[in-house]
Structure 1
Amino acid sequence: MNSEDTRAFDADGIAGAVVASTVTFPKPPQLRAARRAKQSVIKFVILFVTLAFLFVPLLAMLIFTLRHPLSGRWSAAPWIAIFTGNGESLGADLTVLWQGVGTSLALSAVTVVIMLLLLVPTMVIVHIRSKALERAIEWVATLPLTIPAIVLVVGLGPIYRWLSADVLSTNPIWLCFAYVILVMPFAFRAIAVGLNSIDVKTLVEASRSLGASWPKVFFKVIIPNLWQSILSASFISIAVVLGEYTVASLLGRMNLQVALYQLGQSNSQISTAMSLLALLFGVVLLVALDLISDAMRKSKEGK
């Protein structure tokens, strides 16, 4: 055997050893079953701990609303007072509560409209024209996350004092301007995910080459592809507005959380029950978002 045959034999031997070392033999059924059982136990423990962390406080709140803290007597009177609108028997004036609910719902609607009018056209135009400017807008939009709400109030206080005295009024609906700032980071991220998931430039160029005007491109081409992101941004914004307390309280305006705080001074059970209903409403929003997203995805797949 000459030297060339020896080198060839060695190379084949090394290659065979490498292939043999990388081959994975199937595990016995007993080992696979044991591994699946172990993974199932770990998943169950993680799920149980997570659900307990989330639902034990909610269960404690529910028990608190049904069991009187002093006498220990069980009663559904706080829930009956909420659904009948009469809390006089429990020493609570629910007028403030319904005023706060109406204000927060109106603020949610106005905030979402202003947020969408500001963010969606701006982000679409910047996404098409300039990536550098898009990064700058992202920095500005996410800046409120790094600024505490109480610091925002310190800066917004003089502005609202001037607006209330000389331009607008003290109506709580004007909190929408401050709330747009608070929801902007969450809404920006939701819309940015939608823009990055589609080829906006190609859609725009194809539409323009077919003779579509810019308004038609925006409303009939881009917006239908962003519906899921727009819904996500809207629902997240509604959840943030319904849970906001600091800005409204420090600026002396009434919303749902301020009303719950004031109601808690006279009857904490009714306040806690209403807080549970607000949390349930947030869960309903998230479930509705998931169902709408699935329906939209299935309709696109069907087409």
Structure 2
Amino acid sequence: MLVVLGAFFAFPLAAMVEFSTRDAQTWPLLVNWPELSETYPDLAEGILSSLGQAALTALLMLALLVPTAIWVRLRLPRLRPVVEFLCLLPLTIPAIVLVVGLAPVYAWVNYFLGGSSLTLVFAYTILVLPYAYRAIDAGLSAIDVKTLAEASRSLGSGWMTVIWRVVLPNIRSAVLSAAFLTVALVLGEFTIASLLHRTNLQVAIDYLGKSSATMSVAVSLAALLLAFVLLMVLSLFGDRRTSKETR
């Protein structure tokens, strides 16, 4: 089974490598940012937009979800099913349907904040909620949040201290997992950005494919490798933290 799955994923990647290396200038140009920006300005704009969107989405998601998840577990346990339902709801709604609902909202966003591609952060935060919530909820389930909070409160700590200095360090792996999943999802998102007429990496790759197929495939492969590296870093960090806790 592992061999079959490995071949299923390896053959398309090998084909992408073979196709993108037919032009010897493709990969050197891809790692030469000044020349890439001059040759493919739309691609450079898409890369910068996606990196900014990924960073801001991860920050906004963590700022909203981590305190909410901790507070619900500590003070409002009866609302946990409701919060879980709301966070998992975007998973059941296709992206094309989300765009239909978000289009009128973004008319007001454009009016107040302008048409910058960074405004997609609000839509992406909704889109990543199911995956980020599952990661953070799993981290909270692995520790005794209530006992830690009560012990900290009995020593005179305020609620912000409990969240920031007691609970958060114990779910660091879960928070990193949620952040990495957010970055991977934002870097691969196409539907919402395309239908809302915003620029990101995948939209730029789609446009680039009409003029330079080898560069388009090379950028797609680089994005896949970046997501793979992020997941590997997460896995290695989690294993190292687990071994430390065991010792």
Shorter-chain TM-score: what band? over 0.9
Residue 78 of structure 1 pairs with residue 26 of structure 2 = yes
1:266–1:197 CA distance, 2 compared to 1 (3 A):
same
AA aligned to 2:93 is I
Give the greater-gyration-radius structure (CA). Answer: 1
Which of the numbers 237, 247, 251 marks the counterpart of 2:192? 247
Q: RMSD of the alignment, in Å? A: 1.5
AA aligned to 2:31 is F
Unaligned stretches of 5+ residues in structure 1: 1-45, 68-74
Q: How does 1:14-93 map to 2 (within 5 A)?
A: 46-67=1-22, 75-85=23-33, 86=35, 93=39
Normalised by the size of structure 2, how large is the TM-score? 0.95
Equivalence for 1:5: none
Whether the 8 Å CA contact 1:93–1:263 is kept in 2: the answer is: no
Whether the 8 Å CA contact 2:206–2:216 is kept in 1: the answer is: yes
In the comparison of the two structures, how many residue pairs are matched?
246
Q: Deviations over 1:268-301 (max 9, x none)?
A: 1100001000000001101111121122223333
Shift of 1:191: 0.3
Normalised by the size of structure 1, how large is the TM-score? 0.78
1:132–1:268 CA distance, 2 compared to 1 (3 A):
same
AA aligned to 1:103 is S
Unaligned stretches of 5+ residues in structure 2: none
SS at match of 1:266: coil
Partner Cα separation in structure 1 for residue 160 and residue 25 of structure 2: 55
Shift of 1:87: 6.4
SS at match of 2:242: helix
SS at match of 1:170: coil
Q: How does 1:229-240 map to 2 (within 5 A)?
A: 229-240=174-185
Partner Cα separation in structure 2 for residue 285 and residue 197 of structure 1: 23
Identity of aligned residues (%): 47
Residue 214 of structure 1 pairs with residue 153 of structure 2 = no
Equivalence for 1:158: 104
Equivalence for 1:10: none
Where relative contact order (Cα < 8 A, 6+ residues apart) is larger, the structure is 2
AA aligned to 2:234 is L
AA aligned to 1:79 is W
Equivalence for 2:47: 101
AA aligned to 1:81 is L
